[in-house]
Structure 1
Amino acid sequence: MLPFVAIAIALAGGIVVLEVTSYRALERLPSVATEEFPEIDRELLGKFSSFDPELGWVPQPNREKQKDTGDHLPGEEVRSVVTYSTDEYASRVCPAKDRDENADLTVSTYGDSYCFCREVDNDETFQHYLAAELDTHVANYGGGNYGLDQALMRLKRKYPEDPTDHVFMVVTASSIARILSVWKHYQEFGNILAVKPRYVLGDDGLERVESPVDEKADLLDLESKADFLRAYDFHYDHWFEPHFATRPYTTDFLEKGEHLRYAGYTAGKELERRFGRSVPGIDFDRAQTQSALRLEQPRVRYHERLFETHEPLFDALIEEFVDYADDQEFEPVFVMVQQLRYAKYEADHGPIYGDLMERLDDRYDELTTIDMATHLSPDDGDVESLYVERGEGGHYSPETNAEIADVLAEVVEQRAVVE
């Protein structure tokens, strides 16, 4: 009898160890949610310096931050630190040209982190290169993780203070998901501080739903706002719930081979950092990035479906942009750029936004549209070469930003000829 008891205890112990190990591994996976309301401590909240009760978050004026993109091991020389600086307008600085209130030509840009140009220095943004080409300051009002909705809200708040002749709205295709979001955690697991307003389509057109968070301290008790968050965030039912891990966690973890690969690469990176040396012949950082991109493919397909089901809301936001341009008398330009995960998918399947750009061209004579994917096509088909080699996940490289500036400069020059 005793041997059977020992075997049973050993099996039970093994199951517990597997469950704990699987849960810890699932916590690391970007494609799996393990908690609906993760704890937010006051130390983390204190670091959230960009909180804004009206927009959710926004870059602050007169700030300089240095970001280590992670391209080094402990004890090695830090080779990949980038500097982000903002001016008194909370626009990212434009080293190529200072502001000039008497300038004959003025340009501003709004959008997401691809507009802000994360992972490159101030003098490597497309705004910097564009300013050099046009010989005028180019304002950069991009916001990390912004959708078309927040970018439009920021435009309406900032434009009266900083009016320009041309406004470029620069976003990625992920905007289709972001405009349906109130709490980013429901679609980007772990993004727990990002609570935002959004627009919905009502009988009279766009209606703004304000953020449920009025003060930063309210983020400490988001569970008390659960009903609001679940009701107004489309992704709670359609993405979060289907990807929420439940017991037995071992089954969820072992469900996909990619889970095991990602966990293995993550463990390899941690071992390298712990011992301060790399494993010869294995680039764990690159392998983990590639694994993460494969895990992201279902999200890309999900966004592709959203363009089929929620085009009316996206179109209404574009219409609002065009109407605001007409009211304020500036030249509106809508620019679609690509995240790396979209670029790799679309290379084989075509754009996930379908015929959006063609429809906008047909509908608005006064709107210029630019599908940047048609201008950034490497001869060898290697779309990864357009992006920074390492770091947070695939923003455009300085060389690509220079190409983007060429495209945008041509638009401004063509508009000048038409006028």
Structure 2
Amino acid sequence: MLPLVAIALALVIGVVVLEYASFRALERIPSVATEEFPEIDRELLGKFSSFDPELGWVPQPNREKQKDTGDHLPGEEVRTTVTYSTDEYASRICPAKERDPDADLTVSTYGDSYCFCREVDNDKTFQNYLAQELDTHVANYGGGNYGLDQALMRLKRKYPEDPTDYVFMVVTASSIARILSVWKHYQEFGNILAVKPRYVLEDGDLERVESPVDEKEDLLDLESKAAFLREYDFHYEHWFKPHFASRPYTTDLFDKPEHLRYAGYTAGKEIERKFERSIPGIDFDLAQTQSALRLEQPRVRYHERLFDTHEYLFDALIEEFVDYADEQDFEPVFVMVQQLRYAKYESEHGPIYGDLMDRLDERYDDLTTIDMATHLSPDDGDVESLYVERGEGGHYSPETNAEIATVLTDVIEERAVVE
């Protein structure tokens, strides 16, 4: 009898341990949600220096930050850092040319982190290269994780203070998801500080839904705003709940081989970090990045479906951009750029935004559109070569930013001839 009891007890302990280990592994997988309202402590809140009650978050003026690019193995000396600097306007520094109020040509850019040019230095942004080609300052009002909605909101707030002849709106296709979001965590699990306003359509008109967070301290008790967040964030029902891990956690982990691979690569990185030496034969950092890209593919397909079901909201935001350009008398240019995960998918399946660019061209005579994917096509088909090799997640390399600047220069020169 005792041996049977001992065996049963061992099995129970084994199941409990395996469940706990599976849960901890799932916590580290970016495509899995394990908590609806993770705790936000005051230390984390204190680091959220970009909080803005109107936009959710926004780059602050006169700041300089240095970020480790990740271009080294565990235990190695940090070899490369990237410097992000902003001026008194909270625009990213443009070393090539200072602002000149008497300049014949003025240019500004708004959008997401691809507009901000994350992962490259101030002098390697496409804005800085564009300033060199045009011999004029180019303002950079990109915001990390911004969608078309927040970029438009920032434009309306900033433009009266810094008017320009041309405004380039530069976003990735993930904007289709971001404009449906109020709390990033419901679609980008773990992004728990990012609460934002959004637009909805009421009887064909855009109506702004303000952020439910008026003070940064309010982020400490987001659960009290659960009803609002769930109602206005489209992804709560359509992405968060389907990806929420539940018991038995072992099943959630072992049912998907990619979950196991990602967990293994993460464990390998932690072992290297702990012992401050690399394990020969495998680059765990690269393997984890490639695994993360594979885990991202369902999200790309999800965004592709959103362009089918919610293109009307995206189109309405573009119309608002065009109308604001007419009101303020500037030349509007809409630029679609690609995240790495989209580039790899679209090289095989075509653009996830379908005929969006053609549709915009037909609808708006005063809007210039640029599908950057058609200009950035490596001859060998290696789309990964367009992006930084290591780092936070596949932003464009300095060389690609230089190519983008050339494309934008051509647009301005062509428009000048037309006028």
TM range (shorter): over 0.9
Q: Map of 1:113-132 to 2, 5 A cutoff?
A: 113-132=113-132
CA distance in 1, matches of 2:94, 2:382: 30
Paired amino acid for 1:366: D
Cα contact 2:109–2:170 (8 A) shared by 1: yes
Paired amino acid for 1:327: E
Cα contact 2:387–2:400 (8 A) shared by 1: yes
Q: TM-score, normalised by structure 1?
A: 0.99
CA distance in 2, matches of 1:231, 1:76: 47
Paired amino acid for 2:125: T
Task: State the Cα distance separating 1:50 from its structure 2 match.
Answer: 0.1
CA distance in 2, matches of 1:130, 1:343: 23
Gaps of 5+ in 1: none
Deviation per CA, 1:128-165, whole angstroms, max 9, x where unpaired? 00000000000000000000000000000000000000
Q: TM-score, normalised by structure 2?
A: 0.99
Equivalent position of 2:275 in the other structure: 275
Gaps of 5+ in 2: none
Equivalent position of 1:110 in the other structure: 110
In the alignment, is residue 369 of structure 1 matched against residue 369 of structure 2? yes
In the alignment, is residue 338 of structure 1 matched against residue 338 of structure 2? yes
Equivalent position of 1:302 in the other structure: 302
CA distance in 1, matches of 2:15, 2:211: 43
CA distance in 2, matches of 1:304, 1:391: 26
CA distance in 1, matches of 2:40, 2:297: 29
Q: Secondary structure at the match of 1:94?
A: coil
When structure 1 is superposed on structure 2, of 69-78 and 17-26 the one drifting more is 69-78
Paired amino acid for 2:100: D
Q: Secondary structure at the match of 2:61?
A: coil
Equivalent position of 2:391 in the other structure: 391
CA distance in 2, matches of 1:198, 1:190: 20
Q: Map of 1:7-406 to 2, 5 A cutoff?
A: 7-406=7-406
Q: CA RMSD in A?
A: 0.7
Paired amino acid for 1:318: I
Q: Secondary structure at the match of 1:105?
A: coil
CA distance in 2, matches of 1:74, 1:294: 23
Task: State the Cα distance separating 1:418 from its structure 2 match.
Answer: 1.1
Cα contact 2:74–2:269 (8 A) shared by 1: no
Task: State the Cα distance separating 1:360 from its structure 2 match.
Answer: 0.2
Deviation per CA, 1:99-146, whole angstroms, max 9, x where unpaired? 000100000000000000000000000000000000000000000000
Cα contact 2:61–2:88 (8 A) shared by 1: yes
Equivalent position of 2:417 in the other structure: 417
Deviation per CA, 1:315-337, whole angstroms, max 9, x where unpaired? 00000000000000000000000
Cα contact 2:75–2:273 (8 A) shared by 1: no
Task: State the Cα distance separating 1:204 from its structure 2 match.
Answer: 4.7
Q: Secondary structure at the match of 2:240?
A: helix
CA distance in 1, matches of 2:389, 2:85: 22
Paired amino acid for 2:105: L
Paired amino acid for 1:371: D
Task: State the Cα distance separating 1:75 from its structure 2 match.
Answer: 4.6
Paired amino acid for 1:128: N
Paired amino acid for 2:214: D
Deviation per CA, 1:297-320, whole angstroms, max 9, x where unpaired? 000000000000000000000000
CA distance in 1, matches of 2:71, 2:126: 23
CA distance in 2, matches of 1:132, 1:106: 13
Quick one: percent identity of the two aligned structures?
88
